[in-house]
Amino acid sequence: MQRRRFLIYGVAGIGAIAATLGIGWWQVDGPGADAQVGKRPLPLSEMSFRLTDHEGKPVGPQTLLGRASLIFFGFTYCPEVCPTTLSDISVWLDWLGEDATDLNVVLITVDPERDTVEALAEYVGYFHPAIRGWTGTTLQVDQATRDFRVRYEKMPMEGGGYTMNHTSGVFLFDADGRHVSIIDYHEPREFALPKIRRAMDEETKGAT
């Protein structure tokens, strides 16, 4: 009896290990592979995504070269993180004054299902005029998130609908497309401006 129980546990144990390894494979190498963890975005020059901006124009990484860029991922059905980030960015841009015109500022949606060109156009219109909204097909957005090493997942909500969990930092690139730094969501706001200035200074260095 004792031995038999041991055997049962043994089989169950092997099953559990096999299942764990299976899940492990799925997460590490399989379809659930998450190559983005802990990685920095690619340089813009090595990215390959193609998207559409909120005016319906085709855009891609090349659109961003030549000026420093501030890129972040979000979605317009986001009640908290995205409006907060957008209003923070609007303030930084106000602080920059006329220099803000030397920056690309782009919100890339992680929710292309709901964030059509029209929905994005209306949404970004409520924030600083320099802010652009980019969307595309699900496959196109997936490519952009891979290029930027951004993680996102769709989460069903109680009471229907869904929300998106997503990387919430703001990526800074210099004019040559090199990734310079990230402004984290919870970072004190006064740290942001020096980082943006630094990304813009890299631009001058690159130009001379």
Q: Which residues bind another protein (CB under 8 A)?
A: 36-38, 76-77, 79-81, 83-84, 86-88, 90-91, 122-123, 126-128, 151-152, 155, 157-159, 161, 163, 165-169, 182, 184-186
Our CB check for another protein shows the closer of 63 and 167 to be 167
146 vs 153: CA distance, rounded Å: 13
Our CB check for another protein shows the closer of 86 and 175 to be 86
Tokens 């299942």 -> residue? 19
Least spacing, CB of residue 100 vs another protein, in Å: 15
Least spacing, CB of residue 120 vs another protein, in Å: 11
Our CB check for another protein shows the closer of 63 and 76 to be 76
The neighbouring-strand residues paired with 49 are none
Our CB check for another protein shows the closer of 72 and 134 to be 72
75 vs 73: CA distance, rounded Å: 7
The neighbouring-strand residues paired with 172 are 70, 181
Least spacing, CB of residue 121 vs another protein, in Å: 11
Our CB check for another protein shows the closer of 67 and 84 to be 84
Quick one: 125 exposed, middle or buried, by C-beta within 10 A (0-12, 13-18, 19+)? Answer: exposed
Cα-based distances in Å from 197 to 59, 180, 190: 25, 11, 12
Helix 192-207 and helix 81-96, axial crossing angle in degrees, nearest 10 = 60
Least spacing, CB of residue 109 vs another protein, in Å: 13
Least spacing, CB of residue 37 vs another protein, in Å: 6
